[in-house]
Amino acid sequence: MTVEAQAELVIDAAGETSDAVLSVRDLTTTFTAGGQRIEALRGIDLDLYPGRVSVLLGESGSGKSVTARSILRLYGASAIIGGSAVFEGRDLVGLNEKEMQPIRGSGIALVPQDPTGSLDPVRRVGAQIVEVLRLHGVVDSKKEAQARAEELLGLVGLPDPVRAARSFPHEMSGGMKQRVAIAIAICCNPTLLIADEPTTALDVTVQAQILDLFVELTSSIGSAMLMITHDVGVAKDLADHVSVMYAGRIVEQGATSTVLDDPVHPYTKALLAAVPTPDVPRGNLIPIIGQPPVSGMTLPGCSFAPRCPVAQSSCTELVPELVSVELGHSVACPVATEFGAA
Partner 1 sequence: MTRFLLRRLALTIPILIGVSIVMFITIKITPGDPVASLLGPTGSPEARVALTEKLGLDRPLIVQYAKWFGNILQGDAGISIARQTGALGLVWDAMQNTLVLAGFAAILAMVVGVTIGLTAAVYPDSVLARVVSGFSLFAISVPQYSLALISIVYLAANLGWFPTGGMNDPSGEGGLGDLLHHLWLPGIASALVPLGIIARMVRSAMIDALNEDYIEALRSRGLPRSTVTRHAFHNAIPGILTIAGLQAGYLLGGVVFVETVFSWPGMGLLIFQSISQRDLPVIQAGVLLSALAFVLINLVVDTIQASIDPRLRR
| Cα 174 to Cα 118: distance, rounded to the nearest angstrom | 11
x/- track of binding to partner 1 for residues 126-155 (CB under 8 A): -----xx--xx-------------------
- Residue 104 interacting with partner 1 (CB under 8 A): yes
8 Å CB contact between 246 and 61: no
x/- track of binding to partner 1 for residues 31-70 (CB under 8 A): --------------------------------------x-
Size of the site for partner 1 (CB under 8 A): 32
- For partner 1, the closer of residues 201 and 331 by Cβ is 201
| Cα 165 to Cα 153: distance, rounded to the nearest angstrom | 7
**DSSP assignment letter at 115:** G
| Cα 126 to Cα 326: distance, rounded to the nearest angstrom | 48
Q: Which stretch binds partner 1 (CB under 8 A): 117-125, 224-232, 247-255, 259-267?
A: 117-125
Q: Exactly one of 22, 24, 103, 213 binds partner 1 (CB under 8 A); which one?
A: 103
Q: Which stretch binds partner 1 (CB under 8 A): 113-121, 235-243, 272-280, 298-306?
A: 113-121
Burial call 248-272: b when 16+ CB within 10 Å, e when fewer? bbbbbbbbbebbbeebbbbbbbbbb
- Residue 123 interacting with partner 1 (CB under 8 A): yes
Q: Which stretch binds partner 1 (CB under 8 A): 112-120, 292-300, 303-311, 325-333?
A: 112-120
Contacts (CB under 8 A) with partner 1, residues 262-291: none
8 Å CB contact between 325 and 264: yes
Q: Exactly one of 44, 119, 155, 244 binds partner 1 (CB under 8 A); which one?
A: 119
Sheet architecture: strand order including 329-331: 108-111, 192-196, 224-229, 53-57, 241-246, 249-255, 329-331, 323-326
- Residue 72 interacting with partner 1 (CB under 8 A): yes
Q: Residue 21, class by beta-carbon neighbours within 10 Å (0-12 exposed, 13-18 middle, 19+ buried)?
A: buried
Phi, psi at residue 286, to the nearest 5°?
A: -115, 110
Q: Which stretch binds partner 1 (CB under 8 A): 32-40, 53-61, 163-171, 230-238?
A: 163-171
Residues in contact with partner 1 by the rule CB under 8 A: 69, 72, 74, 97, 100-106, 109-110, 112, 114, 116-123, 131-132, 135-136, 168, 170-171, 181, 184
